[in-house]
Structure 1
Amino acid sequence: MLIAVGAFCLVIAAGFLLRSEYEKEQLSEERMVIESRKIRKDHTILFLSDLHNHQFGEDNVRLLEAVDRINPDLILVGGDMLVSKGTAETSVPLKLMEKLAAKYPVIYGNGNHENRMCWERSVYGRQYETYTSRLKQLGVTVLENRTRHFGDDVAVTGIDLDPCYYRKFSREILTREEIQKKVGKADKERFQILLCHSPLYFRGCLDWGADLTLSGHFHGGTIRLPLLGGVMTPQYQFFHPYCAGFFEKDHKYMIVSRGLGTHSINIRLNNKPQLVVVDLKAKA
């Protein structure tokens, strides 16, 4: 009896693993529409996050084909396009950014894996500077606590969060004042987008003045269950409501991408990699 139960459990586990391997290669495209009186001209924005060196086909050919089908006006990158874990291999994101920046405006905000190269100089040396310098040579705008304008009506700001905001079981609070100290004041005239890699700090982002906060980091919760959502975040919060999706508070918005890759926990179940398309539309 015990042998039969054990065999059954092995079959179930193998089925889950096979399904996970399948899902990790299935790109999903999801569109969201936001209307604002600050928008003067409609824009299609593509948000990419958490690639973690994954490749959808050789040199990410399937990902690039999907981007071309969307044909965005602007690409925003939410960070963690590489993996920094003792070493930092950057060739995959650099090849991808080279091809994207040749066709589209690309604005890049950092995640914890990019920032870790700064936090741990004894491990990574000047790899961060080498990486960001190459991105800039390719025509990518790297934000690093700065703001860049797109057209006459959109401002994009990227905040580099400090290590304390990524600690396991984090209960840190990111305030409006702390954001402003890092990146300056929000643009009140333009539609203000804030690239804040962790979605835990939506309250502070909207208090600062972000009309739209774009986040990732949680990989959709790794395993997504009906009604319950994502099971676990990288910071060991369980069934956190901000694992993925579209959220609204006080007429401000946050979109949390499920991301494109994985790293330490290489599993995706009911949680396909995601291309987030945001249609910004002028509101009458």
Structure 2
Amino acid sequence: MAAVQTEVSLCSQPWQRPLHIYGRLACNALMADYTSDRTPLHEAAYQGRLLHLRKLLAQGFHVDTLTMDRVSPLHEACLGGHYACAKFLLDNGANVGAVSTDGATPLFNSCGSGSAACVRLILQHSAFINTTYLLASPIHEAAKKDHRECLELLLTYGAHVDMELPLVGTPLYSACMARAAACVEVLLHTGADVQKGCGQDSPLHAAVRGGGADVVDLLLDFGADRCCRNAEGKTPVDLSTANSAVRTALQQRGPCSLSQLCRFCIRRSLGRNRLHRTSSLFLPHTVQDFLLYQ
């Protein structure tokens, strides 16, 4: 009987068990074994179970326990969109810049979940916003998932609006391909280059492929070139389906008016970084609003 009591006592105090190295961090056998990829800490963070998370840390779990793919509990909390759990982990020293083996960061996961609260929290704790990994860019993730508020936060904190990645293109290209009209509008108003897409493929090519007539209209309003050709020598019209809404949107536009041409020219002259100063120009308010598409 005494032996049984001793065994139960040991099981109820996992922090007293021998430690092992897991993901370069010290863990005991109940926290992670060599056949399991996730720990109870990861599960609690992903499911948003704050009280359980507190208990696990109190029992001796390391806040930055990693899976074999170098996924941290903070990654999981952000992927689940759980602000309270993410804040608790950060308050306890979690690494805000943790990078998984596929390049994902907590900021990337926050953008993927669409949690503006998590995005803001991570941005407040991190000085790094522009990714160096080609397939896990936060701004591209927010754009293609059409998470407008997340995208606006990234841009406010200085994310590169025209960052072009191989095979992925720019955030605008990603948004057009995904028919994410709300994010396309945000990017264009911010001053994204309407012609810069993925290599010779323009955002307009992407919008046609995505089948978004509303996105095509937006791009044309901001001066997209309907005659530009991609690497295959095809124009956006060539890629559109006959009698489709997209082809109609492309063909019903006539030549740009003089006022439109002037707007494009002035916006290019101001440049993206000075667009916000348009209101300080000595121009009638109606003209300022016209330049800013308001």
Q: Give the TM-score normalised by the residue count of structure 1.
A: 0.30
Which has the higher Rg, Structure 1 or Structure 2?
2
Higher strand share: 1
Q: Give the TM-score normalised by the residue count of structure 2.
A: 0.29
